[in-house]
Amino acid sequence: MGKNKPSAIVAQIPQVQLGDWPTPVHPVDIDPKSGISPNIRLFVKREDISGRIYGGNKIRKLEVILAMAKRRWGDGRPQLLTIGAAGSHHVLATSLYGAQHNIDTHAVLTPQPMTNHVQTNLHWTHRLAASTWPCPWIPLVPWTGIRAWSAIRKHQQKSPLIIPAGGSSLEGVLGSMRLGLEIGQDIERGNIPMPDHIYVALGTGGTAAGLLLGARLAGVTSEIVAVRVVHRVWGHRHTVLRLAKTAARWLHRHEISPPSLAGLRVIHDHAGHGYGHPLGTTPSILDESLATEPTYTGKTLAACIRDLNADHTPRNVLFVHTANTRPPPPDILNAAVPPSLLALLRPTRTSP
């Protein structure tokens, strides 16, 4: 593999240490009542416990994003401006880990259907972010972002660094690429067999793009199945491939041969009523310690179960658990949250 060896690739990517790597991967005991054939072997990649305080797929992205932010800001305390829904994992994780590395996170927050998970994340974000800018109407996001950018620049005498939603920038994809490389190492070490399919949630596309690119670099031939959980305008095949190709060009500039990006499938019919709105009851086939949430992983697992029930051909399947399952501080919900932020929490509509 030469310069395409995982260690050689990772060595060229600036990063700060946030997570505990590699994340565990192990087989899942399937409930006999689930209807899934006993010929199917299901495995889970535990990205949910990637960080000791807060886990999930954002940690890999942030290891590169924060390193790049420190490098580009220069002297002083870096200021980041990003965007996400009220219960955004990206905004929360950026605020939390940014603060640990003397980086301030400012966030434009948009409405999201309220679940216990979302409410907890909003309280946590309010406590950690340097500033939050509620935007109750999506078309006003650019105006709210300009106001936030201007206020930060006026205070800091320097423009904040802009981080796209979900951390799906070049840096975020390079961070997520290590997920695919690590799965290759899991296979090489005999921790799991070569999967026929790898299921992952598709939001802003950075994780799916990095997984696809890293898996192909590592020689993993599995079909990458990205389950859309956001509006189709943002979550589609073109988004994933565009991000993956951007990172592939970065690899080429660093004398690393980019791989073929074939073998991507996007599932569109599990978004329900839209981002954050839960699906109906999904039969649980995972241990309670692997509980999913309704925004991303619940829909991804439901799509995986649907596929497995539809075709009982013997297969090895890997489910990437991307949502944090670390518990919040016990007093997090006791923090007072401004009414302007609480107003972003909207009623849910459950799909049948």
SS3 180: helix
Query: Is 60 exceeded by the pLDDT of residue 3?
Result: no
Closest CA to 144 of 129, 133, 153: 133
**Backbone angles phi and psi of 45, in degrees to 5:** -100, 120
Q: What is the pLDDT of residues 102-143, one digit of tens each?
A: 999 999 999 999 998 899 999 999 999 999 999 999 999 999
pLDDT given at position 134: 98
Q: What is the mean pLDDT of residues 308-319?
A: 93
The CA-based diameter of the chain, rounded to the nearest angstrom, is: 62
* Same fold? 2-56+169-320, 58-167: yes
261 three-class SS: coil
Give the Cα separation of 256 and 291 in Å (integer).
Answer: 38
Q: Give the fold, CATH level 3, of 58-167.
A: Rossmann fold (3.40.50)
Q: Please report, for the chain, how many H helices and E strands are present, in that order.
A: 10, 12
E strand map for 177-294: 197-202, 223-228, 264-267
When the candidates are 3.40.50.1100, 3.20.20.70, 1.10.10.10, 3.40.50.720, the CATH number that belongs to 2-56+169-320 is: 3.40.50.1100
Which are the contacts of 111, defined by CB distance < 8 A and separation ≥ 6? Answer: 85, 86, 136, 138, 344, 345, 346
pLDDT of residue 38: 87
Average pLDDT over the chain, rounded to an integer: 93
pLDDT single digits (tens) 193-208: 999 999 999 999 999 9
Q: How many whole angstroms from its chain centre is CA 118?
A: 15
Q: What is the pLDDT of residue 107?
A: 98
Structure tokens at 242: 């565009």
Nearest to 203 by CA among 67, 87, 291, 124: 87
Q: What is the mean pLDDT of residues 24-37?
A: 85
Q: Is the Cα dihedral 223, 224, 227, 228 positive or negative?
A: negative
Structure tokens at 326: 């670390």
Q: Are 98 and 66 in contact (CB under 8 A)?
A: yes
pLDDT in tens, 270-284: 999 999 998 876 556
pLDDT of residue 65: 98
In this predicted model, what pLDDT tens digit does every residue of 146-160 receive, in sequence order?
Answer: 999 999 999 999 999
Domain ranges of the chain: 2-56+169-320, 58-167
pLDDT reading at 2 higher than 70: no
303: nearest Cα among 199, 195, 212: 199
222-249 pLDDT tens trace: 999 999 999 998 899 999 999 999 999 9
- What count of Cα atoms within 13 Å lies in the side-chain half-sphere of residue 175? 31
Q: At what angle do helices 58-73 and 206-217 cross, to 10 degrees?
A: 100
pTM of the model: 0.96
**Cα gap 108→334, rounded to integer Å:** 23
